[in-house]
Each structure stands twice: as structure tokens, then as C-alpha cells.
Amino acid sequence: MIATSSQTAHGWTTARTRFAFLHWNQWLILVLPGLLVPAGCRDRGLQKAQQEAREAKTTVVSLELKLTGAIQKIDDLKAELKAVRQTRDELQEQMDKMIRDRDQAVALAQQAKETIGNLTAASKGQAGTTAGLEKQIASLKALVAEQQKIIEDLQKGATAQPTEAAMPDDAAKDETPPTEPNDKP
């Protein structure tokens, strides 16, 4: 034995020479647990890391599904918003047209009201004129009836007219000349 370090009270040297008596397979038995324990710890760490990776993958897949659902929901909402905007625009156009139509109807009603007022005023004036014309027609009818009577009397007198000798002088003087039917009295 070679003494490379200080000797102890029992005569043994330090670390290097202390285990020199062990055979290589004994060394293996002593060293192997030291190597395996950290390897087992590494396996436990590896398993823990793999478990965390699986959980992370599951979380990522879950988040991807939620993201896909959210994107689909956003797309649906965008389509619905587009339809709502289109409907709103169409309704706005209809409202604008209805307002224009209403304004035209109000203007037309105002014109009709003015026309009715004018016609009412004209009809009041015409009512007086009509009454005057009806009186004139009545007087003309009376005149025509009177002239018709005169004509009938003259026609009767012409057929039964006696000779002048038979008529007294006073009767000849009372005779009035026949009047024209269109002459006004």
C-alpha cells in the first residue's frame, strides 16, 4: 500500500487507499446506486416535465378549441351585424321615401285646400248670378207666354176678322201694333 495522504490512528490512509481492497464488481455495487438514484430523480423530473407538457398540450388544445369557437362566434356576429346594418340602411331609405311622399301629400293637400277655397268663393258668387239668371229666365218665360198669347189672339183674329165696315171706329183705334217677340218691353 502506498500512503499518499496522512495516516490515521488506525493506520489507514485517506480516501484513495481506503477502498483499494474492494474488487471492481464491489465498486460497481457501491457506485451503481449512486448513479441510479440521480437517474431515478431525473426520471421523476422527466415524468413531471412530461406530465406538465401533456397538461400544457391539453390546455393549448382546449384554448385552441375555445379560440376557434370564439372566432366562429365573431364571424357569426359580424355576419349578423352586416345583415342588421343592411336592414337598417334599407329601412332608412324607406323612411326617407315615406317622408318625401308625406311632404308631397301635404303640399298636394294644401293645393287642394286652396283650390276648394277658390271654388267655394266662386260658387258663392255664381249662386247670386244663378239666382239672377233664374229670375231673368222666369221673366223671359212670362214674356214668351204673353207673346204666345198675343200671337194666338192675332191668329184667331185674323181668321175671324170682320171687315172694316163692321168694326167700330173706336175698336180700330185701340188696336196696338204687333210687337216683335224678341223686343224687350
Q: DSSP per residue over 108-166, as a string? A: HHHHHHHHHHHHHHHHHHHHHHHHHHHHHHHHHHHHHHHHHHHHHHHHHHHHTPPPTTT
pLDDT score at 126:
82
Q: What's the pTM?
A: 0.38
Q: Are 1 and 13 in contact (CB under 8 A)?
A: yes
Strand, coil or helix: 177: coil
pLDDT score at 165:
46
pLDDT score at 31:
66
Give the type of residue at 184: K
CA distance 13 to 25: 22
Q: pLDDT truncated to tens, each residue of the chain (185 aa)?
A: 444 444 555 554 555 555 555 565 665 666 666 665 555 556 788 899 999 999 999 999 999 999 999 999 999 999 999 999 999 999 999 999 999 999 999 999 999 999 999 988 888 878 778 888 889 999 999 999 999 999 988 888 877 655 554 455 555 555 555 556 565 55
pLDDT score at 127:
78
Element (DSSP H or E) covering residue 64 = helix 24-159
pLDDT score at 148:
92
What is the residue extent of each domain of the chain? 24-154
Torsion of CA 42, 45, 49, 51, to 10 degrees: 120
